[in-house]
Chain A
Amino acid sequence: NAGVTQTPKFQVLKTGQSMTLQCAQDMNHEYMSWYRQDPGMGLRLIHYSVGAGITDQGEVPNGYNVSRSTTEDFPLRLLSAAPSQTSVYFCASSDYSGNTIYFGEGSWLTVV
């Protein structure tokens, strides 16, 4: 997935720990977003941003924080991890029209 770098790929956390999933793109895209993927649920939008300094909640925002201080970076923070946040996370970047959308390779997160 050229252009979107997402780290880490795998992470195991203990309940109550905090962590940040990093997402960076080099295509000068305005729109960035985070999704979580759970079996039988597809991908659901957590948070999104339409530009630096602008973020908003998606369908499942509880337990997650985001910020967009630059166009390139859109980190996702878990403040106090819970087992319900065990999931696969994908970052996406696109132009505002949606004509070109790029995904990161995914982050497999397990909370024990």
Chain B
Amino acid sequence: AQSVTQLGSHVSVSEGALVLLRCNYSSSVPPYLFWYVQYPNQGLQLLLKYTSAATLVKGINGFEAEFKKSETSFHLTKPSAHMSDAAEYFCAVWGSGGGADGLTFGKGTHLIIQP
């Protein structure tokens, strides 16, 4: 079974600083990879997804993520944090086998922005 590990359940950065949220996955073949954002008491919003077209994926709100197969990583970055980025972020992987491997989520990282 595939798994997704998000390092750091809470990450705190200052406004204007670099945001780096880490995600590692376990999969034997290059999967689809996703980052979702969830604001308090709201649903999931897709930030970006990797589908093998390019290793550097640009998403909404200035976020991007780089797929590194050798490191099985898909870290999310943003050059300059904004107060509105405070939210919960989930990394997810769609495995090649479908079925119960369909979409596996990490446990989430709560991003805190310090003024």
Contacts and interface: CB of A to CB of B under 8 A. Distances in A.
Contact of A106 (B43, B92, B105): B43
A86 to B, nearest CB: 15
User: Looking at B6, B99, B102, B106, which has the most chain A CB atoms within 10 Å of its CB?
Assistant: B102
B108 A40 contact: yes
B108 A45 contact: no
Contact of B51 (A31, A42, A99, A108): A99
B99 A42 contact: no
B114 interface: no
A94 interface: yes
Q: Binding site of A, secondary structure by majority: helix, strand, loop or mixed?
A: strand
A48 B102 contact: yes
Contacts of A41: 107
B83 interface: no
Q: Binding site of B, secondary structure by majority: helix, strand, loop or mixed?
A: mixed
B103 A101 contact: yes
B60 interface: no
Contact of B99 (A56, A99, A101, A105): A56
B43 A42 contact: no
A56 B6 CA distance: 27
Contact of A50 (B34, B41, B99): B99
Interface in A48-80: 48, 50, 56-59
Interface residues of B, number: 24
Given A40-B108, A45-B102, A56-B99, A98 B32 contact: yes
Contacts of A84: none
Nearest to B6: A42
Given A42-B108, A43-B90, A103 B98 contact: no
Given A40-B9, A42-B4, 19 more contacts: A1-B43, A31-B98, A33-B103, A40-B107, A44-B105, A50-B98, A50-B99, A58-B100, A59-B100, A98-B32, A98-B94, A98-B103, A99-B51, A101-B46, A103-B43, A103-B44, A104-B43, A106-B42, A106-B43
